[in-house]
A and B are shown apart, each in its own frame.
Chain A
């Protein structure tokens, strides 16, 4: 088969014309990230929404070298790229990036990610966090927030949705003592760009977890992705924090709105406002946000 014919002049890392859903938070975030990184990079991408919507063969939305592997492997593939190029003296000026979703990163690829951190590979890893397995049809992941309904943590007579809190992978990454860890959000463009720029200036393993709202997975109107993402941050459920060498160095202050403001517009939390058991979970969710606010001094 002949090489695909690109309709666009390749001046950017992530091009239009891909097949993301309307309002996809991940597509906007990746565009911002790739604009900030520039063309001198190599991307390793796991299976997931990003890979599926950006690379339907023979098309590709990537204007830079890109390699795909299955779910659990992008940290390992990026480690291999980095190690091989470094040994040949070809790494100078080239950034090795890895992209994985929250299922790929927090669940199945967790071991490979920890290995990449521990070995000190010069790789910038992005976890695109839409808080469930969206590509396969909204199954819960380790990143699904407490009480959210998914197809494998359904709300109903026997269940109020996900019964475990979100895994705190940024803190786990920071505990590896790697040079840079940050949480970011698609909804805060300038903050996301600043964190990517900062990470690019640092050598060694770096981890940025980006909150990316998902209209079909979370159940809200497509035009509201930026708004929904802002509410997650402003209520304290998604704290924006930076760690350097294992220590918190900067946080984004928030308005401290009640968590209900964030939850009420989303289908995945709708049961929390309809049943007695659901309503009983709301104070627990507020408690999670309050703990974040206290721990990181988000409202000081």
Chain B
């Protein structure tokens, strides 16, 4: 495959995710068909052989995530991708991967739920992504993109972060981001998986050295508590080092719109319209959803009169916003669940409503 690296090119979001994984040195991809992310396995089926990696279509998402567990335990950079109902099926495996302390990347191209729902863009898996999702005291580190370029950048970086924290890392997109094409610049350099630092815990053959054990079973409660605390210590470290957020027009803002992903794309248009009408609004966009940018948002809350949360779900992101703000300014919610993408005009209307309430 010839890619024009270093130059602007047009790429589909789902394909950018596939290329990011290849460029990050991912050499084992496991997937299962589900709309709207099928271009990722299609891309991997076509291009993984070119770098000598494994493309494997599993018989279910349960199988796919456990293949990831196996490949990750063997020390290979590995990824699976799916969409909301498929990610639900994977939760048991993600819990095992987290407690077994092996790194992997999981991409969720979210669609409307619950149940079979639909295949339209949504953000209704926020809680599932950031609060653990499966059973037990674990989290996944979660990053949310708002463009095709950012899907590439975050997916690629997710492999480094996963290795650093020996943790599953989830990248969130949605049906819109996955399906749309945008200009993207691919970096010239790609990762050589053979040049990555050794993984001294990987189960890659014990000839000539002591055995290594990958495990999440700790019968003694005190042992398991210690392991749970060890995971938490890593999450605390990630909260110091891996928080990402972006802001637009916040300097003089009286209202901060908090949104991520596609909702933030709509939000920035709404803010530009609001500012044209003389309303000083700005955007706060969390990119790391876990760890959440608590301190950064708390500072914004000190400065503005009100916060409006715009999310394509019904009151999920707003809970983390309220925890971060901790009562220092009023927090309002505008949520559109079910695969509905709000229009900028709708969000402007909400901005006007909140500004009126706040002044009143």
Which of A's residues lie within 8 Å of B, judged by CB? Answer: 47, 68, 70-72, 103, 106-108, 110, 133, 135-137, 139-140, 142, 151-154, 156, 158-159
Contact = CB atoms under 8 A, between A and B. Distances in A.
Closest 8 CB pairs of A and B: A107-B59, A108-B60, A136-B33, A139-B33, A158-B49, A152-B45, A133-B33, A151-B42
Nearest to B42: A151
Given A137-B33, A142-B59, A158-B49, A151 B116 contact: no
B61 to A, nearest CB: 8
Nearest to A103: B33
B34 interface: yes
B318 to A, nearest CB: 27
Given A47-B116, A154-B46, A140 B32 contact: no
B45 A136 contact: no
Given A137-B33, A139-B33, A156 B60 contact: no
A196 B41 CA distance: 37
A159 B59 contact: no
Given A47-B116, A139-B38, A140-B57, A154 B33 contact: no
A252 B33 CA distance: 34
A68 to B, nearest CB: 7
A139 B59 contact: no
A158 B47 CA distance: 10
Contact of A139 (B46, B57, B85, B115): B57
Given A139-B38, A151-B45, A70 B116 contact: yes
A47 to B, nearest CB: 6
A135 B60 CA distance: 16
Contacts of A133: 33
Contacts of B34: 136
B50 interface: yes
A68 B35 CA distance: 18
A47 B55 CA distance: 24
Contacts of A107: 59-60
From B42, B85, B89, residue with most partner A Cβ within 10 Å: B42
Interface residues of B, number: 21
Contact of B85 (A70, A142, A156): A70
Interface in B211-256: none
23 contacts: A47-B116, A70-B116, A71-B60, A72-B60, A107-B59, A108-B32, A108-B59, A108-B61, A136-B34, A137-B33, A137-B38, A139-B38, A139-B42, A142-B59, A151-B41, A151-B42, A151-B45, A152-B42, A152-B45, A152-B55, A154-B45, A156-B46, A158-B49
Contacts of A110: 59
Interface of B: 31-35, 38, 41-42, 45-46, 49-50, 55, 57, 59-61, 85, 89, 115-116
Contact of B38 (A71, A136, A153, A156): A136
Nearest to A153: B45
B118 to A, nearest CB: 9
A158 B49 CA distance: 7
Given A70-B115, A151-B41, 13 more contacts: A70-B85, A72-B60, A108-B32, A108-B60, A108-B61, A136-B38, A139-B38, A139-B42, A139-B57, A140-B57, A142-B59, A153-B57, A154-B46
A70 B115 CA distance: 8
B41 A139 contact: yes
Contacts of B61: 108
A137 B35 contact: yes
B65 to A, nearest CB: 13
Contacts of B116: 47, 68, 70
B37 to A, nearest CB: 9
A263 to B, nearest CB: 22
A152 B59 contact: no
Contacts of A70: 85, 115-116
A71 B35 CA distance: 13
A47 B31 CA distance: 18
Nearest to A133: B33
Contacts of A151: 38, 41-42, 45
A115 B168 CA distance: 33
A292 to B, nearest CB: 24
B36 to A, nearest CB: 9
Nearest to A137: B38
B33 to A, nearest CB: 4
A69 to B, nearest CB: 8
